[in-house]
């Protein structure tokens, strides 16, 4: 298997020294750099976002700066709002549902590294998908860790670090994030 195939399969892969992976990531970095240096009012932004994602989501509002590793592994529903300074570490898929509001400086991190430094120093990484349901709201500075699923109708409080799945209609807060209340979405 190639390192990209291992990455897509959720296996340990060489994220730092495999030339094909590094090349893909830097191509995306360059396009993100281009996006982040356009005026917010420039019509060309839509075209550049489409280069990053491979499509243009319906009613997307994405503010700069915005960063991601590959772009092609990000799947956004309709009516998604992504505030300033967000990072999508998309070695695995990041799926965001419809009507999702993402506050400033949030991070969606699909990658993890070995605990053993010898393996970590070899550049090994594993990427696990993140799934976000419809009608969710993320406060500022939320971090979502690898392999997490967040259900429909959830609110994640500012500064939370989400390490485990969150069921539908939940308010989650804290480090690590815990469900503190059910939301009565009717």
Kindly report whether the peptide bond that precedes residue 15 is cis, defined as omega within 30 degrees of 0. Answer: no
Taking the CA atoms of 135, 164, 95 and 120 in sequence, report the sign of the dihedral they define: positive
**What is the tally of structural domains in the chain?**
1
What is the predicted pLDDT for the residue at 186?
Answer: 74
By percentage, how much of the chain surpasses pLDDT 70?
Answer: 100
Active site residue 37: no
Tell me the CATH number at 132. 2.160.10.10
Question: Which range of residues forms the domain containing residue 162?
Answer: 3-182
Pick the catalytic residue from 45, 72, 113, 178: 113
Entry pTM: 0.95
What is the predicted pLDDT for the residue at 94?
Answer: 98
pLDDT in tens, 147-164: 999 999 999 999 999 999
pLDDT under 70: residue ranges of the chain: none
Kindly report whether the peptide bond that precedes residue 65 is cis, defined as omega within 30 degrees of 0. Answer: yes
């Amino acid at each position: 298997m190639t390192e990209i195939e291992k990455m897509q399969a959720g296996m340990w892969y060489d994220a730092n020294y495999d030339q094909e992976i590094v090349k893909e990531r830097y191509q995306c970095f360059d396009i993100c750099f281009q996006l982040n240096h356009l005026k917010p009012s420039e019509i060309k932004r839509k075209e550049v976002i489409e280069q990053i994602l491979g499509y243009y989501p319906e009613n997307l509002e994405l503010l700069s700066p915005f960063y991601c590793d590959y772009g092609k592994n990000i799947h956004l529903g309709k009516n998604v709002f992504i505030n300033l300074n967000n990072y999508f570490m998309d070695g695995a898929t990041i799926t965001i549902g419809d009507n999702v509001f993402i506050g400033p400086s949030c991070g969606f991190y699909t990658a993890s590294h070995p605990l053993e430094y010898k393996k970590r120093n070899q550049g090994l990484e594993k990427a696990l998908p993140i799934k976000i349901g419809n009608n969710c709201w993320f406060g500022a500075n939320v971090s979502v860790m690898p392999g997490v699923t967040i259900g429909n109708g959830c609110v994640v409080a500012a500064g939370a670090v989400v390490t485990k799945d969150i069921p539908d209609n939940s308010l989650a807060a804290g480090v690590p994030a815990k469900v503190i209340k059910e939301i009565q979405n009717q």
